[in-house]
Amino acid sequence: MPFIKLRVTQWLKRREHRELVEEMDTTQRIQLFAAGATIDDADTQDLVEELRMPPYRSTVEDYGEVVIQHGFLVMFGIAFPLAALINFLNNMAECRTDTYKMLAVHQRPDADDAADIGGWLPVLKVLSTASIVTTAALVTITTPALQLALPDFIGNVGERYPAVSFLIFEHVLF
């Protein structure tokens, strides 16, 4: 009985596979053959099903989400320190959803060699510089302790001119 059940299951899979192959267009057949598969191969059913999925566009949107999230965290994380934990949990969930998206929803993307993260590096450098400025501004505006500590170094100027405190703190951070 188990042998007959196995053979019937294999026959049904082959029949379903042939129906999928008959519905394929020419471009999908070319992609299938380029991957080294044959139409009659029973192991190519997953490949045929993947070819029917929409293609994966690019990683630009995925990088964009991460860079925007990083920007908010480094620029305003001092105002809400719990944001780092929320950011971490969100990134863990994002990892899982992106994995599911690449494995089950879209075709697998082509592998491209890359030496670095490309155009995102200047964006991250600008965000780092902007984060230093915003952090220095938030600290000097909201923290009177910094202005009280600075008179020891610069006299009463720090209390009268918070911009001087900001410039000193910003240069220390840079």
Residues 147/149/152/158 CA torsion (nearest 10 deg): -10
User: What does the pLDDT look like over 15-40, one tens digit per residue?
Assistant: 776 666 666 666 666 666 666 555 55
For residue 156, pLDDT over 70 is answered with no
pLDDT score recorded for residue 125: 92
Confidence of residue 173 (pLDDT cuts 50, 70, 90): confident
pLDDT score recorded for residue 89: 94
pTM for the whole thing? 0.59
Confidence of residue 126 (pLDDT cuts 50, 70, 90): very high
CA angle 162, 73, 122 (to 5 degrees): 90
| Of residues 169 and 94, more confidently modeled | 94
pLDDT score recorded for residue 152: 56
Type of residue at 62: D
For residue 68, pLDDT over 80 is answered with yes
Alpha carbons within 13 angstroms on the beta-carbon side of residue 89 total: 5
For residue 48, pLDDT over 80 is answered with no
Q: Residue 84, Cβ neighbours under 10 Å: how many?
A: 12
Query: What is the arithmetic mean of pLDDT over 60-72?
Result: 87
Confidence of residue 82 (pLDDT cuts 50, 70, 90): very high
